[in-house]
């Protein structure tokens, strides 16, 4: 089993729709979680951290389910500019030097 797994997609959704995707992790002792966004031919950029209590940033909501070992990202009222690849990142208990990236989920928002 991979340390971090994501559905690679692609997800194609119409503008204005709500879309959600998950990321599962295998190490139950993992300590920190993040979502990154990567545009085509660009570097990954931090989208948001994922806290135990869940967190929201505008149209984006991230949640952590430690019991089932997954994190989720929900995008409401999707915009064309949300088209990108979304990467989940997990920092294990050993520290940030061992952080692991998922392979990414590709999202395309259609007009």
Partner 1 sequence: NAGVTQTPKFRILKIGQSMTLQCTQDMNHNYMYWYRQDPGMGLKLIYYSVGAGITDKGEVPNGYNVSRSTTEDFPLRLELAAPSQTSVYFCASSYSSNWPFFGQGTRLTVV
Question: Which residues, 3 to 62, sit near partner 1 by CB under 8 A?
Answer: 31-32, 34, 42-46, 49
**72 in Cβ contact with 23 (< 8 Å):** yes
Residue 88 C-beta: closest distance to partner 1, Å: 10
Query: What's the min distance (Å) between Cβ of 63 and partner 1?
Result: 17
HSE (side-chain half, CA atoms, 13 Å) at 108? 8
Residue among 43 and 111 whose Cβ is closer to partner 1: 43
Shortest gap between Cβ of 73 and partner 1 (angstroms)?
15
Least Å from the CB of residue 41 to partner 1: 8
Print the SS3 string covering 19-44.
EEEEEEECCCCCCEEEEEEECCCCCC
Name 80's Cβ contacts closer than 8 Å, sequence gap at least 6. Answer: 15, 109, 111
Q: How many residues bind partner 1 (CB under 8 A)?
A: 20
Report which secondary-structure segment, H or E, holds 88: strand 84-91
Of 73, 78, 104, 107, the one binding partner 1 (CB under 8 A) is 104
Give SS3 for 3: coil
Residue 86 in contact with partner 1, rule: CB under 8 A: no
List of residues contacting partner 1 (CB under 8 A): 31-32, 34, 42-46, 49, 87, 89, 91, 95-97, 99, 101-104
């Amino acid at each position: 089993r991979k340390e971090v797994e994501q559905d690679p997609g692609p997800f194609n959704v119409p503008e204005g729709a709500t879309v959600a995707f998950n990321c599962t992790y295998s190490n139950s002792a993992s300590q920190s979680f993040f979502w990154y966004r990567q545009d085509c031919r660009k570097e990954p950029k931090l989208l948001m951290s994922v806290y135990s209590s869940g967190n929201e940033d505008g149209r984006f909501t991230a949640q952590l389910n430690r019991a089932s070992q997954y994190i989720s990202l929900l995008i409401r009222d999707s915009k064309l500019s949300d088209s990108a690849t979304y990467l989940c990142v997990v920092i294990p208990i050993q520290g940030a030097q061992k952080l692991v990236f998922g392979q990414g989920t590709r999202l395309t928002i259609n007009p």
